[in-house]
Amino acid sequence: MKIRTDMQRDPLSTARTLSEALPYLQRYAGATVVIKLGGHAMGSDEGMESFARDITLMQQVGVNPVIVHGGGPMINEMLAKLGVTSEFKNGKRITDAETVEVVEMVLSGRVNKRIVQAINAQGGRAVGLSGKDAGMITCDAADPDLQFVGEPSEVDTTVLHSMFSSNIIPVVAPLGAGRNGETFNINGDTAAGAIAAALNADRLLLLTDVSGVKDATGEVVTELTADHIRRMTEDGTIAGGMIPKTETALAALNGGVRAVVILDGRSPNACLLELFTDYGAGSLIRA
Ligand SMILES: Nc1ncnc2c1ncn2[C@@H]1O[C@H](COP(=O)(O)OP(=O)(O)O)[C@@H](O)[C@H]1O
Ligand SMILES: CC(=O)N[C@@H](CCC(=O)OP(=O)(O)O)C(=O)O
């Protein structure tokens, strides 16, 4: 695991190891951390159990974690079973009326409840909802080519705040309501970024299946600026599913999030190490 060389990172990370951090965990009480768990990062049951344990511990020391999940591979699986084909444009699924029904069924159903159950099994109290619940996310159509893909235009965090005060961990499926009663499919990263910005979160962690944003030689770039991201996107180094992540990171920082990290959600204790120690892995993006 790489050690970041800039030790001026931020007061959220001060210790060198998790055991060194233990006596000081209460200093993180009240911090808000939005964690996006990508479909590719939630493969194995052991990985899910370890993720759920980390989130539960985080909540027990007073952090307010919000989980926003993806589930692209699980949607693909269900669409294939149903014989429906689907295509992507710049990392976002072209979602017609038939597809959005499957997306909602898979994300709000199987995927959301698997995470809720895993957290509850670790002693946490998780409640699953989607961006449609309590009017949390209102969307406009993102791009006419993408059909029922939404871009969050308003995020109402009232329900999240009442969950924090009841020690409940919100687990949010990335769907939103349109102004005319439509259901919109939102890219999981986009939804997480919009929620993080609306909460003025201290951290947005985007958990995926690669160790961070890689340069043209395949090395992870440990610190990225908006300029790096723009250049790497223009020359095609940042492609596919990494595009919504880096776009989200920049939008979230503009929206008031203190820092965004893109990291491998499958590596043990990824979230705890990132938050509580100087040994964060992955790509850190700061304003
Ligand atoms: N520059 C890059 N660095 C790292 N991964 C990249 C890059 N460009 C494209 N990718 C791809 O983006 C993928 C992550 O996006 P995605 O598959 O949508 O993840 P998730 O399901 O976790 O949201 C990586 O597995 C990788 O194939
Ligand atoms: C608009 C759009 O692309 N929505 C995504 C929602 C799920 C998601 O984001 O899943 P991952 O995080 O696992 O990629 C989709 O339909 O696949």
ipTM of the complex: 0.97
Q: What atom in ligand 1 is closest to the CA of residue 208?
A: 22
18-286 adopts what CATH topology?
Answer: Carbamate kinase (3.40.1160)
Q: pLDDT over 70 for what percent of the chain?
A: 95
- Ligand 2 neighbour 39 (Cβ under 6 A): yes
Q: What atom in ligand 1 is closest to the CA of residue 265?
A: 22
- Burial label for 179, CB within 10 Å (0-12, 13-18, 19+), is exposed
Give the pTM.
Answer: 0.93
Q: What atom in ligand 2 is closest to the CA of residue 103?
A: 16
Q: How far is the CA of 186 from the centre of ligand 2 (A)?
A: 7
Least confident of 127-136, 185-194, 278-287: 278-287
CA 205 – CA 264 distance, rounded (Å): 10
First-to-final CA distance of the chain: 24
Nearest ligand by distance to the CA of 93: 2
Q: How far is the CA of 77 from the centre of ligand 1 (A)?
A: 19
**What residues does each domain of the chain span?**
18-286
Residue pLDDT, tens place only, 51-98? 999 999 999 999 999 999 999 999 999 999 999 999 999 889 999 999
